[in-house]
Amino acid sequence: MTKEEWFTQLFDHLEHSKFRSSFHLKQQDIDYINEKGLDTLKDHARDFIEKREAPAYIPNDGKQTPMKGHPVFIAQHATATCCRECIRKWHKIQPGRELSQIQQEYLVEVIMTWIQKEIEQQRNV
């Protein structure tokens, strides 16, 4: 399966999840993104994944990602990149081992893809 095929399948499944599909960026999130820019937002996503998801052992796993307060947090819940259990279930990356740089970049790409889709949908409303 190619990366494009995987992303198509993943986002289709996320859209059909009642919980995952309930997350959307609010206007204040869009304003924040417009103010900071997508490159800065991607840096924030990298930092959050590195510090909150990448370690092999996370003492507060399942509670490390707030439900609001930053567009990346919203995207993490929408894309199931919010905790190692969701990452295991949705992205097939097993917990108990530190995430590789490639795995971290994959999660960041999933987050940023969702954010870009949300921005496009907001523009078309």
Please state the rounded mean pLDDT for residues 12-30. Answer: 96
- The answer to whether residue 114 scores a pLDDT higher than 70 is yes
Judge whether 27 and 67 are in contact, CB under 8 Å. Answer: no
What does pLDDT average to over the chain? Answer: 94
Please state the rounded mean pLDDT for residues 72-86. Answer: 97
Lowest-pLDDT choice from 4-8, 15-19, 28-32, 119-123: 119-123
- The answer to whether residue 62 scores a pLDDT higher than 90 is no
Both tokens of 5, joined, read 């095929």
Please state the rounded mean pLDDT for residues 41-70. Answer: 94
CB atoms within 10 A of CB 92: 8
* DSSP letter (8 states) at residue 124: T
- CA distance linking residue 125 with residue 119, whole number of Å: 10
- The answer to whether residue 39 scores a pLDDT higher than 90 is yes
